[in-house]
Amino acid sequence: MKFHCPGLPHTVTSPEYNACAFTQKVLKLCKGLTRAGHEVIHYGHEDSAVECTRHVSVSFNRDLEAAYGSYDWRKEFFRHDTNDVAYRNFSDRCNAELRLSKAPGDFLLIPFGFGHERIAKANQDLFVVESGIGYPWVLPREVARWKVFESYAVRNAVHGGDRVSRANNDDYEVVIPNYFEADDFGPVSPSKGYVLYLGRITRAKGIHIVIEACQRAGKRLLIAGQGDLSKEYSGGLEGVEVLGYADRETRQKLMREAECLMIPSQYIEPFGGVAVEAMMSGTPVVTSDTGAFTEWVVQGRNGYRCRTMGQYVWALNNVQLLDRWLIRLFAIRNFSLEAVIPQFIEYFQTIADTREGAGWYEPHKAGRLAIGSLSFSALYEND
């Protein structure tokens, strides 16, 4: 199969941009599909560092400077507007390049929804797939017929009560979890006794809950990520160390040596990839009991889901009971590229079958279904 994969117009598709989950999804999906033997053309910034069949530069430093000026995205949240000059230039150049390289039956993978709408609308002769929905507003079905959600939580939230009250399910709107390079994390190490918060520093992610819970539990807390804590929290910071943005190596070391990672998101978390990254490192997680966390935080095995301050404090004082080696193994089995890319390939094949085969009635070709099914008990089986 042949895939056309635009990056994000306001970032660079490279490991350095680890603060942007959507950028990292482009990076890793290109890598996984390329390693699986497919033709992958990436369209993105001139400085992109992505494993693919061919890279095409459609974004340049002058575009980012014209749209956003000079700012440090490591400290501030990313600036972007889907109608700004960087987005318009990116879309126009990408469409021009696509006219030269696309063919019937190719796939166009758009990971940022409305941010890629101009590209999607101009290439309706391709299979247009929203390939990693972790946002609340999806493109209309006539623009992007095929949809991949990060979790059942975000799929159900996007559709709301409509699919509860009416029988209008679409079997081609699927859930495939986010995916990670297992070798980027580990090895499993003894903790150094601190709690880690890593991510956007905002009350939406529960930073205020993290600080108070750690202080009540008498735990040392390290905070790393984009944002200004003084704008989100006005209380005391006893036992708290604010590190700022963590680059790739620092991020991995912080997660590997933490006693646990805490991320009590106060909204329906579409996925929460940093928690899986922590588990890839063998580090347990303490989360809220909402969103995607309910799908893969297995209570008392790889972390704890909490609802009250009392529960958060208890969890922080009991994470040392969890087996760090089994936590890493669970994450690898369920969220590594090797585990997830076959799910994408199987889904893309079902889409191709609507053009070349019997569609929904096409016989299943693989020896087993690649559709994921999380199971912690499988760690104890000799499979």
Which of 26, 31, 2 is CA-nearest to residue 12? 26
Query: Is-contact 295 149, C-beta < 8 A?
Result: no
Percent of the chain scoring above 90 in pLDDT: 85
> What pLDDT is recorded for position 377?
64
What pTM does this model have? Answer: 0.93
E strands in 52-162: 54-59, 107-110, 127-133, 146-149
Distance CA 72, CA 51 (A): 26
Query: Is-contact 194 283, C-beta < 8 A?
Result: no
DSSP H or E run through 92 = helix 85-101
CATH 3.40.50.2000 range(s) for the chain read: 182-333
Q: pLDDT digit string (tens) for 147-187?
A: 999 999 999 999 988 878 888 889 999 999 999 999 999 78
Mean pLDDT over residues 324-335, rounded?
A: 96
In the CATH scheme, what is the code of domain 182-333? 3.40.50.2000
Q: Hey, is 5 helix, strand or coil?
A: strand
The label of the residue with tokens 């950028």 reads: 23
* Length of the chain as a residue count: 383
Query: Is-contact 170 195, C-beta < 8 A?
Result: no
pLDDT band, very low/low/confident/very high, at 378 (cuts 50, 70, 90):
low
The listed CATH number (3.30.530, 3.30.310, 3.40.50, 1.25.40) that belongs to domain 2-175 = 3.40.50
The label of the residue with tokens 């991020």 reads: 251
Query: Is-contact 275 185, C-beta < 8 A?
Result: no
DSSP H or E run through 196 = strand 194-198
> What pLDDT is recorded for position 382?
44
Q: At what angle do helices 61-68 and 85-101 cross, to 10 degrees?
A: 150
> What pLDDT is recorded for position 260?
98
Q: pLDDT digit string (tens) for 13-41?
A: 999 998 899 999 999 999 999 999 999 99
> What pLDDT is recorded for position 373?
76
Query: Is-contact 68 10, C-beta < 8 A?
Result: yes
DSSP 252-298: HHHHHH-SEEEE--SS--S--HHHHHHHHTT--EEEESSTTHHHH--
Distance CA 377, CA 379 (A): 5
> What pLDDT is recorded for position 164?
85
Distance CA 202, CA 204 (A): 5
Phi and psi angles of residue 52, each rounded to the nearest 5 degrees, phi first: -160, 175
Query: Is-contact 25 59, C-beta < 8 A?
Result: no
Helix intervals (H) in 137-225 = 152-159, 162-165, 207-217
Q: Which two tokens stand for residue 41?
A: 């053309």
Beta bridge partners of residue 110, listed in sequence order: 130
Phi and psi angles of residue 101, each rounded to the nearest 5 degrees, phi first: -120, -10
